[in-house]
């Protein structure tokens, strides 16, 4: 009979490692929440693991700070990130479906071209992009932060790989025989199959757009149009005499709440995107 003791010790070790890693990941969020409940004077005294009593006061200071429109910045970031995630996932899936389901002469050339764009850093095209949107009259607008998300080579490649493993072409041919139009086939047949992949990329695109600082810093000048990363970056230039650490921690805490909510709603699809494969041939 094989002893179960070595296996039990191995399980204990695995759980111990997972507990330590979970603690390391969540500890900083816990400290952020604790510090958001403390006043500036309490924070100057040093570290504390117990919450303070100034949560509502710090939240009120953030809401009433006319020089720092945090909630307006969150609204701007929600608009940019939400629209970017929707446009990016839909059009990337549509492009991937077009290259996967259709046969044409320049199919390989188109795929190679998209992959070539994938390795091109954003900073290389930044000045040309800035001159373009200035000539188009889109400078200091949220549109330049949303429209370019339609073309995302990385999301396209993920969608294309997912289609290769999940969508049999016989299903598309059957829909065509039944008289279904191409867009109807994509929207009503292909999209439901790609739902896990779309949800996964929606999370990544939303978070990436939410945390994007480089492009908004080039494009946005008006304070009422600034996104969260730009507003938080302006804290470095705050006046020391009016600098309130409690308010700063509250600003950061409020800024991450939308990301946490989006992740909680869509995180289950990360596993589904790996385990589910739609219809198999």
Per domain, the residue ranges of the chain are 5-54, 62-275
List of residues 6+ apart from 122 with CB closer than 8 A? 214, 215
Distance CA 79, CA 64 (A): 22
- Alpha carbons 257 and 65: distance in angstroms, whole number: 19
242: helix, strand or coil: helix
The pLDDT value recorded for residue 249 is: 86
Report d(CA 190, CA 280) in Å as an integer. 13
Q: Secondary structure of the chain: what % helix, strand, coil (to 5)?
A: 75, 0, 25
Distance CA(277)–CA(64), nearest Å, equals 50
Q: Is 3 exposed, middle or buried (0-12, 13-18, 19+ CB in 10 A)?
A: exposed
Q: Which helix (H) or strand (E) holds 147?
A: none
Strands (E), 75-204: none
Task: Write the pLDDT tens digit of every residue in 184-214.
Answer: 999 888 998 888 888 888 888 998 899 888 8
What is the three-class DSSP state of 151?
coil
Q: Is the pLDDT of residue 2 over 70?
A: no
CB atoms inside a 10 Å sphere around CB 196: 22
The predicted model scores a pTM of 0.80
Give the model's pLDDT for residue 270: 64
| Predicted pLDDT of residue 81 | 93
pLDDT of res. 277 = 45
Map residue 81 onto helix, strand or coil. Answer: helix
At residue 265, the pLDDT reads 78
- pLDDT score, position 272: 61
How far is C-alpha 61 from the chain's CA centre? 28
pLDDT, tens digit (0-9, with 9 covering 90-100), for 100-152: 988 888 888 999 998 888 887 777 788 888 898 999 988 989 999 999 889 88
Topology (CATH level 3) of domain 62-275: MetI-like fold (1.10.3720)
pLDDT value at residue 1? 46
């Amino acid at each position: 009979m094989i002893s179960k003791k070595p296996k039990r010790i191995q399980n204990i070790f695995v759980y111990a490692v997972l507990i330590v890693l979970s603690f390391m990941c969540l500890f900083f969020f816990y400290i952020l929440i604790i510090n958001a409940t403390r006043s500036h004077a309490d924070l100057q005294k040093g570290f504390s693991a117990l919450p303070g009593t100034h949560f509502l006061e710090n939240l009120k200071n953030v809401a009433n700070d006319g020089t720092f429109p945090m909630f307006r910045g969150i609204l701007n970031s929600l608009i940019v990130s939400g629209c970017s995630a929707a446009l990016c996932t839909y059009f990337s899936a549509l492009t991937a479906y077009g290259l996967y389901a259709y046969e044409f002469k320049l199919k390989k050339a188109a795929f190679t071209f998209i992959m070539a764009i994938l390795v091109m850093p954003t900073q290389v095209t930044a000045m040309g992009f800035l001159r373009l949107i200035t000539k188009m009259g889109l400078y200091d607008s949220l549109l330049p932060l949303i429209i370019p998300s339609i073309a995302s080579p990385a999301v396209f490649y993920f969608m294309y790989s997912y289609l290769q493993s999940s969508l049999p072409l016989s299903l598309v041919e059957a829909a065509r025989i039944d008289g279904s139009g191409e867009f109807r086939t994509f929207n009503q047949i292909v999209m439901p199959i790609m739902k896990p992949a779309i949800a996964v990329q929606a999370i990544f695109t939303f978070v990436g757009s939410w945390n994007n600082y480089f492009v908004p810093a080039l494009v946005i000048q008006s304070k009422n149009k600034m996104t969260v990363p730009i507003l938080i970056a302006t804290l470095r230039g705050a006046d020391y005499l009016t600098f309130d650490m409690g308010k700063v921690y509250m600003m950061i805490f409020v800024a991450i709440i939308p990301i946490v909510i989006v992740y909680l709603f869509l995180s289950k699809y990360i596993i589904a995107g790996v385990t589910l494969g739609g219809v198999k041939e």
